[in-house]
């Protein structure tokens, strides 16, 4: 019983400390541009680097802080400018494609397959970023602004 409890505790601690990395271009060993720890997006690789954005379920805020200026609002499909559910839509997410503005038939700017962000529409286009670990789509949308 103690062995099972120790294993569960160990696995849970790894889950709490999990980080995702956004790397330049295609490759798991390329330069780390950003680190995501579940709440903060940091510049470069490391948990002590400068916090660029704070993210909760709905808002992306500037710097580190739950009460800082809201830069974007996310509702699961649309990334909007500033704070508000009726503000200008910057990007639309449909599960694979990132589209310009509001609409499922607008121009495809990027393709995301869970690991790579590619330019334009297509699974074989140029890779801009490699994602290592879990990263919410709203973070990706905001980064490519």
Query: What is the model's pTM?
Result: 0.82
- Domain range for residue 123? 20-143
How distant is the alpha carbon of residue 61 from its chain centre? Answer: 13
Instruction: Please indicate, yes or no, if residue 100 is contained in any of the structural domains.
Output: yes
Instruction: Please indicate, yes or no, if residue 46 is contained in any of the structural domains.
Output: yes
Residues 6+ apart with CB under 8 A from 50: 42, 43, 44
pLDDT per residue over 77-91, tens digit each?
999 999 999 999 999
pLDDT per residue over 90-116, tens digit each?
999 999 999 999 999 999 999 999 999
Number of domains in the chain: 1
pLDDT at 6: 37
Residue spans of beta strands (DSSP E) within 1-145? 20-24, 32-36, 40-43, 51-55, 59-62, 70-74, 78-81, 89-93, 97-100, 108-112, 116-119, 127-132
Instruction: Please indicate, yes or no, if residue 84 is contained in any of the structural domains.
Output: yes
Instruction: Please indicate, yes or no, if residue 1 is contained in any of the structural domains.
Output: no
Q: How many CB atoms lie within 10 A of CB 86?
A: 7
pLDDT per residue over 15-66, tens digit each?
445 799 999 999 999 999 999 999 999 999 989 999 999 999 899 999 999 9
């Amino acid at each position: 019983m103690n062995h099972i409890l120790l294993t569960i505790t160990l696995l849970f601690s790894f889950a709490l400390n999990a980080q995702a990395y956004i790397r330049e271009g295609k490759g798991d060993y390329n330069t780390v541009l950003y680190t995501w720890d579940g709440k903060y997006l940091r510049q470069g690789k490391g948990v002590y680097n400068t916090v660029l954005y704070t993210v909760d379920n709905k808002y992306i805020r500037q710097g580190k802080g739950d009460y800082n200026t809201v830069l974007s609002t996310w509702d699961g499909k649309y990334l909007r400018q500033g704070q508000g559910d009726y503000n200008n839509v910057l990007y639309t997410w449909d599960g694979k494609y990132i589209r310009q503005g509001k609409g499922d038939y607008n121009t495809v700017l990027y393709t995301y397959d869970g690991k790579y962000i590619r330019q334009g529409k297509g699974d074989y286009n140029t890779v801009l970023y490699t994602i290592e670990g879990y990263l919410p789509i709203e973070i990706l949308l905001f980064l490519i602004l």
